[in-house]
């Protein structure tokens, strides 16, 4: 089976594509973003990569033109919203399979503030897709509420268990230039407000008062540069510059060394599908404090396979202190071992990629010729809404 993958900058899509390539022929990977070193992983497997500019630079119709030259048995879009999805529908590419990651459809709970016309676009795209792979039960429920014509199934995707494995903390720190006697608090999520990175910085500042050996390491993508500067300023004002390190653009496989070097990691987003970063850390047996939301509680249970905390400063501090306390070593080891079992059962990337490809083979398209024109109408509506909003702001 020949599959074309269309992505809008997600590094996880590259890892998933490599796993899918074991069970199908990925004929083309179209990236609606700028090149990164992660794309070399695709080229090393003889998967052609084509780069197209984002929609705000005229990319929508560039994607449509590119897609018209692609002959494939199915088209897969990572994220269930965006210009790459709308381009596939306009180009009448089918069957079309969307990977709903989380905030692409859970925009009410995340940082996305969409105009009513854009919300209509997202819902229309999900309704017209031939298949949706949802990153959690919560995401599936949202997609199902829009009455899609195609099938919707949960796929946690997960991790390549041959790569994400426990390793020597000392060796990892030597590779990264981290002192052996420091306690490393790892913040692995992107700099997005929904990921509560500021709250992690506040927890670090609070704990640093008691632990002179505690450092924080931020390795998330700088998605929101203004947010990055806000957190840098917060750290600086508390005189903790020398104990905080910011490392951006970590490779999808290079991140393993950071996981292995950490004493404890924190992931406390208020909205998402199911965080793949958490699954990766669990596979590496790195202690991780996870925010308690419906999505994370689908697979995680406090005290059994995870350290779950409420999204409050002191609760987060207590969770980190518990993980760092040597007196809890045996309980922590039990949690980490159960976490690996959770990965084996629910989040083996190779197994889930095979199931995804098998599901695509069973999909048949249910779209009509009118769908393209309805979507085109919504895109015009979105354009007019943005123009009207822009003029309103200028008048003010």
Q: Within the chain, which residues score under 50 in pLDDT?
A: 57, 390-396
CA distances from 361 to 18, 73, 130, 365 (A): 18, 9, 11, 11
**Token pair of 220 as six digits:** 């998330």
Q: What is the pTM of this model?
A: 0.90
Q: What is the pLDDT of residue 113?
A: 72
CB 175 within 8 A of CB 287: no
DSSP assignment of 53-105 equals --GGGTHHHHHHHHHTT---SEEEEESSSSHHHHHHHHTT-SSEEEEE-STTT
d(CA 396, CA 383): 20
Please report where in the chains the tokens 């994607």 appear, as a residue. 63
Cβ atoms of residues 153 and 140 within 8 Å:
yes
The gap from C-alpha 113 to its chain's centroid, in whole angstroms, comes to: 19
Structure confidence by residue, pLDDT tens digits, 112-126: 677 788 889 999 999
pLDDT of the residue at 151: 95
pLDDT at 390: 47
pLDDT tens readout for residues 36-74: 999 999 999 999 999 997 755 457 888 999 999 999 999
The domains found in the chain, sorted by start residue, are 2-158+350-395 (3.40.50.2000), 169-347 (3.40.50.2000)
* Distance between start and end Cα atoms, the chain: 55
Contact 104, 119 (CB under 8 A): no
Helical H runs in the chain? 11-20, 40-43, 59-67, 83-90, 116-128, 137-145, 169-176, 197-208, 225-237, 255-261, 276-283, 313-324, 329-346, 349-361, 370-395
Structure tokens at 36: 């990164």
What is the Cα–Cα distance from 121 to 377, expressed in whole angstroms? 10
């Amino acid at each position: 089976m020949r599959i074309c993958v269309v992505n809008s900058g997600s590094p996880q899509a590259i890892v998933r594509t490599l796993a899918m390539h074991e069970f199908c022929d990925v004929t083309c990977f179209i990236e609606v973003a700028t090149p990164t070193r992660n794309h070399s992983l695709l080229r090393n497997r003889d998967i052609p990569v084509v780069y197209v500019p984002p929609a705000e630079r005229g990319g929508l119709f560039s994607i449509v033109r590119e897609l018209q030259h692609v002959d494939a048995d199915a088209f897969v879009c990572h994220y269930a919203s965006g210009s790459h999805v709308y381009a596939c529908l306009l180009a009448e590419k089918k069957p079309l399979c969307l990977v709903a990651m989380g905030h692409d459809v859970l925009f009410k709970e995340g940082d996305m503030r969409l105009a009513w016309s854009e919300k209509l676009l997202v819902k229309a795209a999900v309704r017209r897709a031939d298949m949706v792979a949802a990153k959690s039960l919560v995401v599936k429920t949202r997609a199902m509420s829009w009455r899609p014509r195609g099938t919707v199934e949960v796929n946690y995707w997960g991790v390549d268990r041959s790569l994400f494995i426990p390793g020597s903390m000392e060796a990892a720190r030597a590779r990264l230039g981290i002192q052996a006697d420091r306690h490393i608090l790892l913040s692995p999520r992107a700099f997005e407000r929904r990921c509560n990175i500021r709250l992690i910085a506040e927890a670090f500042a609070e704990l640093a008062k008691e632990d002179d050996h505690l450092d924080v390491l931020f390795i998330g993508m700088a998605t929101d540069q203004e947010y990055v500067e806000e957190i840098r300023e917060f750290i600086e004002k508390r005189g903790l510059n020398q104990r905080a390190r910011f490392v951006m653009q970590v490779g999808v496989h290079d991140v393993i060394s950071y996981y292995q070097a950490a004493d404890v990691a924190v992931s406390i987003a208020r909205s998402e599908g199911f965080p793949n970063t958490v699954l990766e850390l669990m596979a590496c047996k790195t202690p991780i404090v996870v925010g308690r939301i419906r999505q994370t509680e689908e697979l995680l249970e406090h005290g059994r396979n995870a350290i779950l905390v409420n999204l409050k400063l002191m609760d987060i501090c207590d969770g980190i202190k518990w993980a760092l306390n040597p007196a809890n070593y045996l309980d922590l080891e039990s949690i980490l071992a159960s976490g690996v079992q959770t990965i084996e059962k629910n989040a083996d990337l190779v197994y889930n990629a095979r199931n995804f490809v098998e599901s695509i083979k069973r999909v048949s398209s249910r779209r009509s010729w009118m769908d393209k024109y309805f979507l085109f109408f919504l895109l015009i509506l979105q354009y007019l809404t943005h123009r009207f909003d822009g003029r309103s702001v200028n008048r003010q």
